[in-house]
Chain A
Amino acid sequence: GAVVSQHPSWVICKSGTSVKIECRSLDFQATTMFWYRQFPKQSLMLMATSNEGSKATYEQGVEKDKFLINHASLTLSTLTVTSAHPEDSSFYICSASPDRAKNIQYFGAGTRLSVL
């Protein structure tokens, strides 16, 4: 149980284009999902907390207009990187928690984004 699917696993795009990443909880409902970014040899950096049916909560320094998050249902959250630039190249990972109180987070496989 507690499987989180993330798609795509790898994407290459041109500078200025937008990329959408999907995160799905396959066997549980997640009222809250999380989006992280990880640069090489660094730890996870929380970008935003995605709540079903409401606006995402962004961490300080994360541009909400650049990283659009939509949590349309209890099993799906999407992250859209708008007008991507080479500095946005990173490993993006989502996670979901079946129990907000205990907050055990299960991670998707991650999406490696390369912006040319």
Chain B
Amino acid sequence: QKEVEQNSGPLSVPEGAIASLNCTYSDRGSQSFFWYRQYSGKSPELIMFIYSNGDKEDGRFTAQLNKASQYVSLLIRDSQPSDSATYLCAVNNYGQNFVFGPGTRLSVLP
């Protein structure tokens, strides 16, 4: 059974700090990796996707992928209170359905 694991948190960081969110997956054939942000009572919003090993940066967000270790992470620099949300990691093999992790709840303290 394909699994995606995340620390449920809550992860608390002070405003301005770097938040580091981690995700591991079991399916070695996974090809694409996604991070979604979900505010309470709202639907998920795509933040980033990454396909290749290494880092991918977009503004304050950096996704890091290590396929050998089956590990993907999301770094949020200069964290803001508005970043407080649940972050969902999703993994899939091309043409197959997503497998979502349980999410990590992030709390950025002013």
Residues of A within 8 A of B (CB): 6, 34, 42-44, 46, 49, 91, 93, 100-110, 112
CB within 8 A of B88: which of A44, A108, A109?
A44
Interface of A, secondary structure class, is loop
Task: State the majority secondary structure of interface residues on B.
Answer: loop
CB of B44 within 8 A of CB of A44, answer: yes
Sample of 7 A–B contacts (CB below 8 Å): A43-B100, A46-B98, A100-B95, A104-B46, A104-B49, A106-B46, A109-B42
Collect the chain A residues with CB atoms within 8 Å of residue B90's CB.
105
Interface size on B, residues (CB 8 A): 22
Please report the C-alpha to C-alpha distance between residue A107 and residue B94 in the assembled complex, in whole angstroms.
Answer: 18
Query: Which residues of A lie under 8 Å from residue B46 when comparing CB positions?
Result: 104-107
- Collect the chain B residues with CB atoms within 8 Å of residue A103's CB: 32, 92, 94-96, 98
Contact assessment for A110 and B92 in the assembled complex, using a CB-CB cutoff below 8 Å: no
Bound-state CA distance A6–B43 (Å) is 11
The answer to whether A49 touches B97 (Cβ under 8 A) is yes
* Residue of A46, A101, A107 with most chain B CB atoms under a 10 A cut-off: A107
